[in-house]
Amino acid sequence: MCIFCKIVAGEIPANKVYEDENTLAFLDIKPVNPGHTLVIPKKHYQNLEKIPEQELSFLILMVKKIGAQLKDKLKVEGYAISANNDLVAGQIVPHLHFHIIPRHEGDGHEPWSRREYAPGEAEEILKKLKG
């Protein structure tokens, strides 16, 4: 049983922000900024491709609700939403989850590095995605 499933089962304590029959939102134990919240489905799904669309709908509505709550209650200027999908993408806990990270002007957190496409690279990627 993964650590998030143990939190859902009540075997491990968590600072719960919100809970309903399908989803759970709780504070990240190592936040990027105060208020950093994780939103998970209560059922175990390893990644985004595994969750049924109806349950994903419940999950993303919870992300929206918690994001609005962060703005309203904590007066954050905005927030980043992130989901690391699979180990290679940085997913540490193999249970689908979204990070909602409060952001403030000048907080020093960059979302990711960027680069330019090499000549012809974008066209080649498009061929593969559309083919």
Scan for tokens 């109806």, then name that residue. Answer: 54
The active-site residue out of 97, 99, 104, 109 is 97
CA distances from 97 to 25, 83, 123 (A): 9, 6, 32
Neighbours of 104 (CB within 10 A): 14
Q: Collapsing DSSP states into helix, strand and coil, what is residue 47?
A: coil
Scan for tokens 């939103």, then name that residue. Answer: 39
Catalytic annotation present for 97: yes
CA distances from 25 to 16, 47, 53, 112 (A): 6, 17, 19, 24
Torsion of CA 57, 113, 95, 125, to 10 degrees: 70
List, by residue number, the catalytic residues: 97
